[in-house]
Structure 1
Amino acid sequence: MTITPLKFLAGYSLVLQEQVHVLINQGRLGEYLSSRYPITEHSVQTDKLLYQYVTTIKQEYLKNAPVIDKVSYDSKLDVVHHALGLHTAVSRVQGQKLKAKKEIRIASLFKQVPPEFLKMIVVHELAHLREQQHNKAFYQLCQHMEPNYHQLEFDLRLLLTHQDLMQPKTI
């Protein structure tokens, strides 16, 4: 039996994708997610609160990492562009000096997700302060900050799949 690939789960095994297809075909994917994540929203709704949230996690796990100058929700980031969060170093000339400012932008969709998913994306972006590439050290750092990181990343992909299936299709 061939199954239709799921765009948010393309990197996972076909066996796992088949299990997700079973949940979808039975109409139980949403039920599965709500049983795992009963709280669907969190209180971090403004850029100011997001900055405080990110810096608190950074202080706990990455005290010696560079200072983060700006953290914000970004409505232009979305899954269509394959970016749920961005970390950037913006260089600006100030007089005779070149100043690099570290910024983190989180997709606005994270305002309406369970708090575990917000923490997962924040941890992901903070890990980029130390590791630029998605390598073994990067994922070890993510797991250090959030021991359930891999499960949360997978479940976020399930949530994105569910949301994608619930959107009306245009012709």
Structure 2
Amino acid sequence: MLKYLNGYDSQLKAQVQTLIDQDKLGEYLLSKYPTIHEYTTDKSLYSYVQTLKNTHMRNAVPISKVLYDTKIRDIHTALGTHTFVSRVQGGKLKAKNEIRISHIFKKVPEPFLRMIVVHELAHIKEKEHTKAFYKLCTHIEPAYHQLEFDLRLYLTYRDIFGVLYV
């Protein structure tokens, strides 16, 4: 039932289970994150990602495409993806970076979207989930770990009760 919280302490999971049993997990999330973001189109999402990238990773390689992807269905394994495609064009090697975010994040609070975007942006520089990767994530978003936990709470809520933000 708490599949998104597998790596967390059993005491913490017990607290979450209590919130679920008392039907208060939704209240908790809504009190902390009452409104959803406004980046509902691929164009606005691209602009949002570019702004974050240009603010925190100015020298990183360009991103050619950003979009909401309806094909990302197993949110237990991926909330978004970052792909790096290399192609030979003429005598040159061309590289393209793409970020795809699961379409379920069109209607969530902005901090949840930011956490996912930061995660995918960090993969531009750090391919694996190493200390350097998470250091970059917290450089871009100091509350990264708290947002990741709260997003996991939201995904847990969504699995049990359905969509919270409409």
Same fold at TM > 0.5? yes
After superposition, give the CA deviation of every residue in 1:80-119 in whole Å (9 maximum; x if it has no partner): 4611111111122323333221111111111010011011
Please tell me whether the aligned partners of residues 80 and 116 of structure 2 are also in contact (alpha carbons under 8 angstroms). Answer: yes
Correspondence for 2:140: 145
1:59 aligns with 2:61: no
Query: Aligned partners of 2:106 and 2:39: how far apart in 1?
Result: 7
Query: Aligned partners of 1:123 and 1:37: how far apart in 2?
Result: 18
Q: SS of the counterpart of 2:136?
A: helix
Correspondence for 1:109: 104
Structure 1 residue 52: Cα displacement: 0.7
Deviates more, 1:150-159 or 1:87-96: 87-96
Q: SS of the counterpart of 2:83?
A: strand
Q: Report the residue type matching 2:16 in the other structure.
A: V
1:130 aligns with 2:125: yes
Among 32, 35, 60, the alignment partner of 1:36 is: 32
The aligned runs of 1:1-171 (5 Å cut-off) are 6-39=2-35, 41-80=36-75, 82-167=77-162
After superposition, give the CA deviation of every residue in 1:129-162 in whole Å (9 maximum; x if it has no partner): 1111111111111111111110000000000000
Please tell me whether the aligned partners of residues 80 and 100 of structure 2 are also in contact (alpha carbons under 8 angstroms). Answer: yes
Query: Aligned partners of 2:119 and 2:82: how far apart in 1?
Result: 10
After superposition, give the CA deviation of every residue in 1:35-91 in whole Å (9 maximum; x if it has no partner): 11011x211011111111101110110011101111111011134461111111112
Find runs of 4+ consecutive structure 1 residues off by over 4 angstroms: none
Q: Report the residue type matching 2:111 in the other structure.
A: E
Residue 66 to residue 79, structure 1, CA distance change in 2 (3 Å): same
Structure 1: state its 5+ residue gaps. Answer: none
Q: Report the residue type matching 1:23 in the other structure.
A: L
Structure 2: state its 5+ residue gaps. Answer: none
User: Root-mean-square deviation (CA), in Å?
Assistant: 1.2
Query: Aligned partners of 1:35 and 1:42: how far apart in 2?
Result: 16
- Between 1 and 2, higher relative CO (CA 8 Å, sep ≥ 6) is seen in 2
Please tell me whether the aligned partners of residues 4 and 76 of structure 2 are also in contact (alpha carbons under 8 angstroms). Answer: no
Identity of aligned residues (%): 60
